[in-house]
Structure 1
Amino acid sequence: MRSELQAELNIFKETVERFIEQEIAPFYHIWEQEKLVPKTVWTKMGQEGLLCCDLPEEYGGFGVSYDFNMVVAETLARAGYFALSCSVIVHADIAAHYVLNAGTEKQKQKYLPKMASGECIGAICMTEPSAGSDLQGLKTTAKPSGDGWLINGSKTFITNGQNSSLYIVAARTDLSVPTAKGLSLFLVDGDAEGFSRGQNLDKIGQHAADTSELFLDNVFVSEDDLLGEVDRGFVGLMTELPRERLSLACSATAHAEGALALALDYVKERKAFGQPLANLQDIRFKLAEMATKVTLHRVMIESYKLLLAEKELTTAQASMAKYSSTEMECEVVDTALQMFGGYGYMQEYAISRYYLDARVQRIYGGASEIMKEIIARDLIGKL
């Protein structure tokens, strides 16, 4: 059964690779400079069936497994188009599944088919200028108004912030209780009155990803725009975290695999002291270490994909995957760049982009320090 799935995944991967070669590789450097992937690329991805593959067919997907989504994200990451990989994860593996799992039938019919086609790009709006990993510091509010709510506040570091037309906004609906007990989620359209996009932030890496500030000034949303139950938004967040963090672990592992492949090709060709770098024992040992780390994480995430499919992946396991994979990613990419010497510091060499794009992986989606705290609490609770 698994071998049949793998055969299908291999065929699908070839489709993704062809799309990258024809529609992404020739233009990616332009998108990096413009700090934005054109919306036409999203619709082309939708036409090729590369977005939201695992949504049920009635909502525009193919009803296939999570593995197909990861083929898209991982193939993009491995090839070095990491900003787009992460943007697609936020859209297809996070935002779409919030709507699928917490939305009403009306909400699903309204948004999901367009998310699968690439007509509607999704974003998750949690982080605020004063609240990142600590949601207790959330200041955005949603107050009852007539037959709906008025939302006020600001968000920052929002992936797909410029391109999106659907924003899933976390806001406090009960200020008399801790945030975890009084948080709600709302579906906000990008053209809503009072909603505005701030600057497209200037990052040190992932330049093609539109990461933005957002502002909500008395944005009215109806009761139909509430995602899930009032004051139960935190539960929704916790429910989706294992999938989100595993997806980031998958992209991290694939990104490291791509960096290793670049380094391997380079040291076979580059000569020093009259011989290929690959003949030097120090280089060979470092390659062995990198390959071992990458392979161990590949085994881990593949086993965790199976657990996710059976809805058995725990928050602690997903945190382990996210923490360990992103730390490994940065280590492997750094070592790979070192093998390129001074050329690794030049932007004309792809490894430099791998290096810059990888760093934020240890921060967003739950910083490494937060992941370790979650893992530790799970361990101590079992003593």
Structure 2
Amino acid sequence: MTEFEFNEPDLLSEELHMVREQVRRFANEKIVPHADAWEASGEIPRSLFRDLGQLGFLGMRHPVEYGGGGMGPLSSVILGEELARSTFGGVASALTVHSDMSISHIAHRGTHEQKLKYLPAACAGEKVGAVCVTEPNAGSDVAGLKTRAVRTAEGWIINGSKTFITNGVYGDIYIVAARTDPEAKGSRGISLFIVEKGNPGLKIARKFEKHGWRSSDTAELFLDDLHVPHDALLGEEGKGFYYIMSTFQSERLVVGALVSGTCAKAVELTVDYMRQRQAFGKALWDQPVVRNKLAWVASKAAAVRALTYQCAQMIDEGKDTVREVSMLKAFGAETLQEVVHTCLQLHGGTGYIIGTPVERMARDSRILTIGGGATEVMLEEVAKRM
């Protein structure tokens, strides 16, 4: 099999090269042989989180003193790329939501006690994280959320609903966004809370059947007089919107990595198929008009990858990356649609058969122009900074 690789950026350390090799080996041995069954069942075994956690890959960016690896954003990029190369987007999404989009809230702004309580188990894969921001009427418009949290003598009472929550059914640690100041308008007055599995006020309304990402669980949640103690508040009261926006930069960076890994694998599979498939007396690969189409989308995929690594380096240097990361999210997710659908087209009828990797990647990729900030919203973020 041809292995299609972009050139590795010079900024990767020897340690990061080793991380790539180990995650790729893990994906090939622990994910690919079993993930078809996970697609059918609509869930990922808890043992997968534990196995990846034991290798140190679920907390690479979290503090060492709480079980993490103390590494930078490039480690998240490599994890995302290699999980995406498995061709199972649902697995990649569930694992990266845990490592880089939910538990990271605790790592960045939790108290010492909160970090001590939650991070070691999360980094080890013993506890699974979910982030609960999206609501039926508030998706990309985070400032429009309606869930309310009211302070009491004993703590907080939260009421509302959340939807499209990855790891919502099988998660253990939920990062919940709620409005704590009813008088505040828009982005002000939103706070974050840590909610644990088993809280009687947390109700799973339904588990969604999805177009793609079928092996990850996605749920609608009701928060019905959900009681949490005062120390469940994460960070400062009223700063939740800014915390969410900050974490979005890492989330969108990971989306860039998922795009990069998926594109590379789709091109790789298509090159192999075109070299084997005969049409009009010769291999498809020997038809210039056909292979040029693949070269074109591979070129765009290389541009996405370069922007992904540039954003990671900027984040590592502490620079403001909202414009660049928004570009990455918009351009990367839209480019992915072109890449996977071109690859499906070049597979012919085989590409349309359920169970083939390119068909699955085409389904799984569709969500990435929506989740984590719709393309239209991302472009507006870019435009405001031009």
Provide the TM-score with structure 2 as the length reference: 0.95
Local SS of the residue matching 2:252: helix
Question: Does the Cα contact within 8 Å between 1:242 and 1:313 map onto a contact in 2?
Answer: no
Would the aligned equivalents of 2:62 and 2:70 in 1 still touch at CA under 8 Å?
Answer: yes
2:140 to 100, 121, 133: 133
Say whether 1:257 aligns with 2:260.
no
**Structure 1 unaligned regions, length at least 5:** none
Q: Which runs of 5+ in 2 are unaligned?
A: 1-8
In the alignment, which residue of structure 2 is the partner of 1:82? 89
Report the more deviating stretch, 362-371 or 3-12. Answer: 3-12
How many angstroms does 1:85 deviate by? 1.2
Equivalents in 2 of 1:136, 1:311: separation in Å? Answer: 25
Report the Cα distance in structure 2 between the residues aligned to 1:139 and 1:289, rounded to whole angstroms.
Answer: 45
> CA 1:4 to 1:319, structure 2 compared with 1: closer, same or farther past 3 Å?
closer
Aligned to 2:168, the other structure's residue is in SS state: coil
Residue deviations 1:124-179 (CA, integer Å, cap 9, x gap): 10111122112243121101121311001111100111121110101111111213
Describe the shift of the 1:347–1:61 C-alpha distance in structure 2 as closer, same or farther (beyond 3 A): same
Name the aligned partner's letter for residue 249 of structure 1.
Answer: G
What SS does structure 2 have at the residue aligned with 1:348?
Answer: coil
CA–CA separation in structure 1 for the residues paired with 2:168 and 2:289? 44
Residue 352 (structure 2) pairs with residue 345 (structure 1): yes
- Distance in 2 (alpha carbons) for counterparts of 1:236 and 1:207: 29
Give % identity: 38
Q: Paired residue for 1:165? A: 172
Amino acid at match of 2:137: S
Query: 1:106: Cα distance to partner?
Result: 0.7
Q: Aligned letter for 2:95? A: V
Which region of structure 1 is more displaced relative to structure 2, 367-376 or 253-262? 253-262
- The answer to whether residue 196 in structure 2 is matched with residue 174 in structure 1 is no
- Aligned: 1:219 with 2:212: no
- Aligned counterpart in structure 1 of residue 299 of structure 2, from 273, 292, 298: 292
Equivalent residues of 1:52, 1:69 under 8 A apart:
no
* Aligned equivalents of 2:237, 2:16: Cα separation in 1: 39
Partner residue, 2:213: 206
Return the letter of the residue paired with 1:250.
A
Number of aligned positions between the proteins = 378
2:336, 2:365 within 8 Å by CA — same for their partners in 1?
yes
Within the candidate set 377, 380, 386, 1:370 is matched to: 377
8 Å Cα contact 1:316/1:374 also seen in 2 = yes
The separation in 2 between residues aligned to 1:9 and 1:81, in whole angstroms, is 23
Pairing 1:89-100 to 2, within 5 Å after superposition: 89-100=96-107
Question: Which residue in the other structure is 1:16 paired with?
Answer: 23
Task: State how far apart, in whole Å, the 1-side matches of 2:331 and 2:260 are.
Answer: 10
AA matched with 1:245: R
CA offsets per residue over residues 212-246 of structure 1, 9 Å max, x none?
11111111111100011111111111222211111
* Cα separation, 2, equivalents of 1:138 and 1:226: 17
Shift in Å, 1:6: 3.6
**Secondary structure of the structure 1 residue equivalent to 2:61:** coil
1:159, 1:212 within 8 Å by CA — same for their partners in 2? Answer: yes
Between stretches 353-362 and 46-55, larger displacement belongs to: 46-55
Query: How big is the shift at 1:4?
Result: 8.2
Q: 2:334 matched to 1:327?
A: yes
Q: Give the C-alpha shift of residue 273 in structure 1.
A: 0.5
- Determine the structure 2 residue equivalent to 1:63: 70
What is the CA-CA distance between 1:285 and the residue it aligns to? 1.1
Give the Å deviation of 1:65.
Answer: 2.3
Task: Check the 8 A contact 2:74/2:309 in 1, yes or no.
Answer: no
Q: 1:147 aligns with which of 144, 151, 154?
A: 154
- State the SS of the aligned residue for 1:180: coil
Following the alignment from structure 1 to structure 2, what is the Cα–Cα distance between the partners of residues 132 and 280?
45
1:204 Cα deviation (Å)? Answer: 0.5
- 2:109 corresponds to 1:102: yes
**Aligned partners of 1:324 and 1:313: how far apart in 2?**
19
* 8 Å CA contact retained: 1:159, 1:209: yes
Contact 1:123/1:160 (8 A) holds in 2: yes
Tell me the equivalent position of 2:314: 307
Q: Distance in 2 between matches of 1:242 and 1:142?
A: 26
Secondary structure at the counterpart of residue 385 of structure 2: helix
The alpha carbon displacement at 1:79 in A equals 2.3
CA RMSD of aligned residues (A): 1.4
Q: For structure 1, which segment, 132-141 or 145-154, has the greater mean C-alpha deviation from structure 2 after superposition?
A: 132-141
CA contact (8 A) 1:304 1:313 kept: no
Q: Which is richer in helix?
A: 1
**Are 1:34 and 2:34 counterparts?**
no
Describe the shift of the 1:135–1:21 C-alpha distance in structure 2 as closer, same or farther (beyond 3 A). closer
CA distance in 2, matches of 1:89, 1:311: 22
| Partner secondary structure for residue 187 of structure 2 | helix
CA distance in 2, matches of 1:87, 1:6: 27
- The residue matched to 1:177 in structure 2 has which SS? coil
SS in 2 for 1:333: helix
Which structure has the higher relative contact order (CA within 8 Å, separation 6+)? 2
SS of structure 2 residue aligned to 1:156:
strand
